[in-house]
Amino acid sequence: MAAHGGEASLIDEARAAGCDALHPGEGDAVRQAALAERCRHLGLRFLGAETALLEAMANDRTMRQSMREAGLPLAMPESDGEIVAMSLLADRFGRVLYLSPRQCRGDAAVAPLNGLTVERYRYLGELAARGVARLGVVGLVEMRFCVAGNRLGFVDMRSGPTGDEALDEALVGLDPLVKQLRVLAGEPLRERQSRVSLNGQARLWRLEPPSDGVFTGGPGVRLDRCEQGGQARLLVWGRRPEEVERRAWRVFAEWWGTRRPADACEPVWHRHFPCGAGFAILHCSNRVACRSRSGPCHGAPRCMP
173 or 262, which is more confident: 173
Question: Is pLDDT above 60 for 224?
Answer: yes
Q: Can you give the pLDDT at residue 69?
A: 94
Q: Can you give the pLDDT at residue 229?
A: 62
Tens of pLDDT, residue by residue over 90-100, are 999 999 999 99
DSSP string, the chain: -GGGTSHHHHHHHHHHTT-SEE--TT--HHHHHHHHHHHHHHTPEE-SS-HHHHHHHH-HHHHHHHHHHTT--B--TT--SEEEEEEEEE-TTS-EEEEEEEEEETTEEEES-TT--HHHHHHHHHHHHHHHHHHT--EEEEEEEEEETTEEEEEEEEES--S-HHHHHHHHS--HHHHHHHHHTTPPP---GGG----SEEEEEEE---TT------TTEEEE-BTT-S-EEEEEEESSHHHHHHHHHHHHHHHHSS---S-----EEEEEBTTTEEEEEEEETTEEEEEETTEE-TTHHHH--
Domain 72-187 top-level CATH class: alpha beta
Q: Which residues, in sequence order, are bridge partners of residue 89?
A: 97, 140
Q: Can you give the pLDDT at residue 7?
A: 67
Q: Model confidence at 294, in pLDDT bands (50, 70, 90)?
A: very low
Q: Can you give the pLDDT at residue 6?
A: 62
Tens of pLDDT, residue by residue over 105-163, are 888 999 998 878 889 899 999 999 999 999 888 999 999 999 887 889 999 998 888 88
Question: Is pLDDT above 60 for 80?
Answer: yes
Q: Model confidence at 52, in pLDDT bands (50, 70, 90)?
A: confident
- Cα distance between residue 87 and residue 298, in whole Å: 37
Any idea where the domains of the chain sit in the sequence?
72-187, 201-303
Tens of pLDDT, residue by residue over 152-211, are 999 999 888 888 999 999 999 999 999 999 998 899 999 999 999 999 999 999 988 887
Which residues lie below 8 Å from residue 211, measured CB to CB, with a gap of 6+? none
Q: Model confidence at 51, in pLDDT bands (50, 70, 90)?
A: confident
194 or 279, which is more confident: 194
Question: Is pLDDT above 90 for 67?
Answer: yes
112 or 299, which is more confident: 112
